[in-house]
């Protein structure tokens, strides 16, 4: 294949130089990656072999400018394999990921290149660098050290092998989960099967069936936006159990999609990697470059929350059991019962029917709501660009403008579940913002997996997910830095969730709900009484929500703190660890280990699933700044939030960035109050 035949190796003349999706085919990627990796190696060789004395501009800034062509192709591949994959593309992905891992490892352990970086780093105090340039120098040097640039040749060679092996395993793990999710559907054929299901869920299940070629019936898939409401409303307990067991057993069945062996191999490689770097276990290695710094600090936070959350969950279970008995049920509360009876308790206590609430949350209006909040906070304007072709017809493309009318970037909104798309919700970057080597505007995508219906209605949890991912999206779009390595979400993992979780707060505010939550049929605004009931119910079932998350974080930290992690039977470990922390009966993990993609489809969240809770301390305390000001869009606070959090990327140390925004260090009490756990903490310590 020649360059002229391959759109990935040609200039992209599309608006904002977005990928020409309609021209790209799976067979284009391998030759394009080979060519751009070779180009990147040449760029790095030129830096390493430069006869001039190494300085910031010819070494560090030049390094940041290198690899743009490779990044363009690699990010496109990663985005498509997650959001619009195919068997052909998956096969390509399996072949190229080990090569990419080897390439990136080699670039960060190149002795000649590191010698130049190290020389500049040794003179950093005498160079008179501005704070952003100094931050880049420090981060680049640390990147190379943590990859193994200072280790002996034999250790570097073994780390290179580990990187390649992990890349293969990560790709297979992720593809196995997708295969299990895509293969399953609980087909509902009769009215009896549909007992208890509200109209919005019947509509979505009908659409899911049609998408799978099943006419005249309904299908419950393992997409969270279908399985969770099914477990909430279905009166058919046996069907709830069947669907629930399929949901929690992804990646665990004997056969080609069994992830248990892959997870053990990944854990063994991580343990070896940590030891080669001089650490006892992977958690120590991973947390050195996090705000927490060490596993003990992350564990301390988790334990502060676990006790009160568990106590609340136990009292919630008692209430569910009482409700079940009142309705004539004699069985215990099993995991497939929890959401069902929780909804009945919610209706009785708060006169709040989730399906009644859902009628006011259409997807289109909630997208308008998040755009409006971004406009009021940061002055952004979003214009639909129907002329820009994306990778799937469901994807909407928006051009984003600043308050002064200047272009900010492109935003891709991809909201519906489909068999070719990874489950869950995430933000991705097709291109990072930077100014090193010319102005580069970001192209940012948000991905959700909402069930598609004739009128897509969202639960309040769905809406919070929409806002959460858009918070990440804003972090990428609003980035205003010079260097690509420091751009957008390239921050420490226990800080990256702050912009996303903080943005969730706005959709819970009565003024935002009154303006944007309107009935799907009448267009009438949500009644004040319904808003009040929703506000009162906000802390309902928070014991359950907190326990199912915190248990995952505790499990992750315990697993990666083992020196013998590679020899662990993950199913047995999961069972024994949950018994040790006294997981309440009737509850399970939000993510069981055989399908825990956060941990086993990459290293980013390994030993770091706690970061959501760490960031929640920051977001709960941070939103209180607006509450204290008496204005949820206070201009002065919004300006500090933009300057020090959303636009700063990794140009500031995270703790310093938060203090610059908030004026002080964060406190934990707002988190506990937000989740309704403050009383439990006080009673537990009194």
Q: 305: part of which helix (H) or strand (E)?
A: helix 295-326
The verdict on pTM exceeding 0.75 is yes
Does the fold of domain 363-525 match that of domain 282-352+540-674?
yes
Torsion of CA 47, 52, 57, 63, to 10 degrees: 10
d(CA 72, CA 84): 17
Q: How far apart are CA 251 and CA 573, in angstroms?
A: 16
Rounded mean pLDDT for each run of 10 residues along the chain, 686 residues in total: 85 97 98 98 98 98 98 98 97 97 97 98 97 98 97 97 97 96 96 96 95 95 94 98 97 95 97 97 96 96 95 96 96 97 94 88 97 98 97 98 98 96 95 97 97 87 96 98 98 95 96 95 94 90 95 98 90 96 95 97 96 95 96 98 98 97 93 77 36
CATH 1.10.1370.40 holds for 3-150: yes
DSSP per-residue string spanning 355-369: HHHHTT-BHHHHHHH
User: Which tokens sit at 74?
Assistant: 């690699």
pLDDT digits (tens, 9 = 90+) for 419-471: 999 999 999 999 999 999 999 999 999 999 999 887 799 999 999 999 999 99
What does CATH list as the number for 282-352+540-674? Answer: 1.10.1370.10
Tell me the catalytic residues: 469
Q: Are strands 426-431 and 396-401 parallel, antiparallel or unpaired?
A: unpaired
Give the architecture (CATH level 2) of 363-525. Orthogonal Bundle (1.10)
Helix H, strand E, coil C: the string for 28-53 is HHHHHHHHHHHHHHHHHHHHHCCCCC
Closest residue by Cα to residue 487 from 407, 429, 438: 429
Sheet holding 443-450, edge to edge: 381-384, 396-401, 407-416, 443-450, 426-431
Contact call for residues 114 and 144 (beta carbons, < 8 A): yes
Question: Where does residue 457 fall: left (phi above 0), alpha (psi -120 to 50 degrees), or beta otherwise?
Answer: beta
Torsion of CA 49, 51, 53, 58, to 10 degrees: -60
d(Cα 612, Cα 465) in Å, to the nearest integer? 13
pLDDT of residue 455: 79
Domain locations along the chain: 3-150, 184-248, 282-352+540-674, 363-525
- Could you tell me if 489 and 472 are in contact, meaning their C-beta atoms sit under 8 angstroms apart? yes
Angle, helices 111-122/131-147, rounded to nearest 10 degrees? 140
Q: What is the pLDDT of residue 600?
A: 97
């Amino acid at each position: 294949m020649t360059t002229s035949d391959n759109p990935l190796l040609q200039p992209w003349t599309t608006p904002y130089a977005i990928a020409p999706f309609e021209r790209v085919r799976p067979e284009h990627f391998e030759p394009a990656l080979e060519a751009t990796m070779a180009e990147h190696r040449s760029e790095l060789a030129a830096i390493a072999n430069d006869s001039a004395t190494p300085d910031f501009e010819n070494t560090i800034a030049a390094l940041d400018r290198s690899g743009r062509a490779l990044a363009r192709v690699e990010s496109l591949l990663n985005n498509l394999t997650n959001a619009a994959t195919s068997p052909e593309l998956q096969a390509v992905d399996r072949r190229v990921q080990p090569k990419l891992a080897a390439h990136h490892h080699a670039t960060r352990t190149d002795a000649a290149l590191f010698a130049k970086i190290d020389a500049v780093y040794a003179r950093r105090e005498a160079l008179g660098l501005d704070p952003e340039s100094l931050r880049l120098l420090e981060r680049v040097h640390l990147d190379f050290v943590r990859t193994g640039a200072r280790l002996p040749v034999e250790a570097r060679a073994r780390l290179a092998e580990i990187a390649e092996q992990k890349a293969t395993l990560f790709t297979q793990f992720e593809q196995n989960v997708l295969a299990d999710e895509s293969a399953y559907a609980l087909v509902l054929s009769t009215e009896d099967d549909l007992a208890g299901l509200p109209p919005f869920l019947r509509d979505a299940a009908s659409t899911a069936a049609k998408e799978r070629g099943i006419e005249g019936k309904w299908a419950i898939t393992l997409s969270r936006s279908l399985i969770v409401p099914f477990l909430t409303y279905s009166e058919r307990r046996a069907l709830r159990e069947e669907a629930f067991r399929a949901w929690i057993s992804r990646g665990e069945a004997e056969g080609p999609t069994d992830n248990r062996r892959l997870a053990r191999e990944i854990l063994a490689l991580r343990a070896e990697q940590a030891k080669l770097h001089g650490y006892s276990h992977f958690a120590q290695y991973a947390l050195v470059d996090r705000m927490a710094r060490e596993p003990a600090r992350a564990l301390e936070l988790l334990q502060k929350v676990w006790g009160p959350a568990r106590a609340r969950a136990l009292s919630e279970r008692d209430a569910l059991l009482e409700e079940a008995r009142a309705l004539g049920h004699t069985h215990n509360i099993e995991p497939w019962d929890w959401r069902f009876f929780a909804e009945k308790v919610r209706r009785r206590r708060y006169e709040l029917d989730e399906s009644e609430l859902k009628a006011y949350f259409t997807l289109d209006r909630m997208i308008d709501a998040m755009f409006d909040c971004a406009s009021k906070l940061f002055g952004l304007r979003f214009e639909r660009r129907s002329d820009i072709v994306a990778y799937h017809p469901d994807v909407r493309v928006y051009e984003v403008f600043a308050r002064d009318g200047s272009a900010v970037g492109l935003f891709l909104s991809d909201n519906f579940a489909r068999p070719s798309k990874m489950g869950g919700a995430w933000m991705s970057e097709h291109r990072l913002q930077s100014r090193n080597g010319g102005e580069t505007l970001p192209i940012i995508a948000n991905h959700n997996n909402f069930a598609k219906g004739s009128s897509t209605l969202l639960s309040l949890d769905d809406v919070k997910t929409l806002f959460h991912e858009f918070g990440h999206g804003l972090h990428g779009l609003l980035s205003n830095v010079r260097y690509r390595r420091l751009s957008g979400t390239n921050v420490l993992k226990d800080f990256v969730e702050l912009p996303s979780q903080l943005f969730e707060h706005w959709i819970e505010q009565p003024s935002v709900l009154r303006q944007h939550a309107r009935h799907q049929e009448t267009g009438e605004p949500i009644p004040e009484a319904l808003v009040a009931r929703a506000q009162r119910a906000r802390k309902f079932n928070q014991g359950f929500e907190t326990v199912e998350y915190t248990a995952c974080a505790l499990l992750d930290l315990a697993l990666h703190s083992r020196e013998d992690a590679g020899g662990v039977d993950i199913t047995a470990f999961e069972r024994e660890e949950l018994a040790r922390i006294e997981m309440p009966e009737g509850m399970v993990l939000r993510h069981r280990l055989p399908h825990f993609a956060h941990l086993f489809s990459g290293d980013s969240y390994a030993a770091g699933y706690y970061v959501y809770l760490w960031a929640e301390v920051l977001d709960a305390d941070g939103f209180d700044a607006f509450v204290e000001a008496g204005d949820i869009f206070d201009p002065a606070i919004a300006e500090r939030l933009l300057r020090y959090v959303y636009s700063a990327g990794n140009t500031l140390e995270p703790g310093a960035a938060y203090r610059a925004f908030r004026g002080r260090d964060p406190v934990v009490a707002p988190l506990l109050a937000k989740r309704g756990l403050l009383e439990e903490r006080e009673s537990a310590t009194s």
